[in-house]
Amino acid sequence: MGLHDPTPTLRRRHFVLGALASAVLPRPAAAAEIRTPSELAELFRREVIQKLDVPRSEALLYGSMTEMQLPEGWQGGNAPQYLLAVDKNVNIQVAFLYWRLMPGHYQLVGAAPASTGALPANETPDGVFERTSSAAVRELEFMTRRPSFVAGRMQQCEVRLCARAADSAAIGHLGQPHSDGCVLLPPSMLAFVERHGVLDATRPTPKLPYPGRVMVVIDSERVDRPEWCDC
């Protein structure tokens, strides 16, 4: 019996990897010096002051929960992109910045304590919110549409949600429900997102060719607070 020649297998593997790279990176971006998700994660660790060390198993879990929240036929579809996920559960209160290469494939860029609305009057709505046009400084504005009865008729109504930098009075409450319904983030995290254009899908750059535009708010319904939720 002759020895197996691995050359065809290696060629097929190189072909598949090359095809994947071609599909993910447009030609101009592939030639340019782009910032990979791992490099962006390193920048997050350096630039974001209030950050959390999330175990890999938890990062994968929250990636799965985020994917489940995306509706079938979601317009964002299969495109590679960054997105922001927020767990509004009273025991968690964390914002996760993810790279979503394809459906179900998530890589955590970084996480930080957040603050959502305090129940019952100021509850933060869950769902998938897409970023609208530029908002005020230190604020990201998102919007979704939901059916609602208006004047006796069912209509699609806008639901708006802002992610804001916590001010000096609120920064000590990050990690617990305290906002008026918006999502409060550490100022350094919001500055990071804006500085690198991570959620500015209307303005891709050679260094960041696949920015996102979505914030996904979930409720994990967890009944205890893991140690990693505290800075």
Side chain identity at residue 190, one-letter code: L
Question: Where do the domains of the chain lie?
Answer: 27-229
Helix (H, G, I), strand (E, B) or coil at 17: helix
Distances (CA, A) of 162 to 26, 58, 109, 223: 32, 26, 21, 26
21, containing H or E segment: helix 7-24
The phi and psi torsions of 73 (rounded to 5 degrees) equal 75, 20
pLDDT score at 173: 95
pLDDT score at 133: 66
Q: How far is the C-alpha of 100 from the C-alpha of 215, rounded, in Å?
A: 13
Taking domain 27-229, whether its CATH number is 2.40.440.10 is answered by yes
Per-residue pLDDT reduced to its tens digit, 86-111: 999 999 999 999 999 999 999 999 99
Per-residue pLDDT reduced to its tens digit, 50-70: 999 999 999 999 999 999 999
Whether residue 18 contacts residue 85, with contact meaning beta carbons closer than 8 Å, is answered with no
Tokens 């303005």, located at residue: 203
Handedness of CA 36, 54, 50, 128 (dihedral sign): positive
Q: Which of 214, 8, 222 is nearest to 130 (CA)?
A: 214
Side chain identity at residue 37, one-letter code: P
Whether residue 124 contacts residue 179, with contact meaning beta carbons closer than 8 Å, is answered with yes
pLDDT score at 79: 86
Whether residue 84 contacts residue 110, with contact meaning beta carbons closer than 8 Å, is answered with no
Which residues of the chain are under the pLDDT cut of 70? Answer: 1-32, 75-76, 133-138, 145-157
Q: How far is the C-alpha of 23 from the C-alpha of 142, rounded, in Å?
A: 29
